Amino acid sequence: MARLDITDADRHRHDIAVLNRLIEVTVDSADGYRDAARDSNDAGRKLAYGRRAEQRDAVVQSLQQALRDLGGRPGDTGSLLGKAHRAFMDVKHALLRDDETLEGSIRNGESWLIDTWEVALNDPDLGDPTREVIRRAFDLIDPHPGDREEHLLPPEDDLRPGA
């Protein structure tokens, strides 16, 4: 009797798809922060945005490794929607040239990013080991759960209102 050959990738197909989606949106976030660092007129914000891009790159690398461990092939690019949003923001920033425009873009992008990560964490079909990888990474993405204002800029950068 013949045996079915089921690879790790087949067995973990759903987890791999979820991880690849998180990689995609987190690459979008890192790219957005890089663009904001380039376009900001404020030296402190440039530094903060650059650090956040590096942090997001590290999260992407950890997700890519988890995906490889499942037998999958990780993506390394952002989404078409993310690229379109950044192109729109480039035009808007070129016209307005202010940091409030950048901050509004970051706020919108971060809200979308966190929503995407929360959906993944609450996915009932996700395997427990993958859920744990995502939970640990999400702690870096959103260190202040439930407070969307607090997580926009790291507290150590003293760029939050009232800081």
93-121 pLDDT, tens digit each: 444 456 777 787 788 888 888 999 999 99
Concatenating the DSSP letter of every residue in the chain gives -PPP---HHHHTHHHHHHHHHHHHHHHHHHHHHHHHHHH-S-HHHHHHHHHHHHHHHHHHHHHHHHHHHTT-----S--HHHHHHHHHHHHHHHHH--HHHHHHHHHHHHHHHHHHHHHHHT-TTS-HHHHHHHHHHHHHH-SSTT-TTTTSS-GGG--STT-
- Total-model pTM: 0.77
129-155 pLDDT, tens digit each: 999 999 999 999 987 776 655 555 444
Which pLDDT band, with edges at 50, 70 and 90, does 159 fall under?
very low
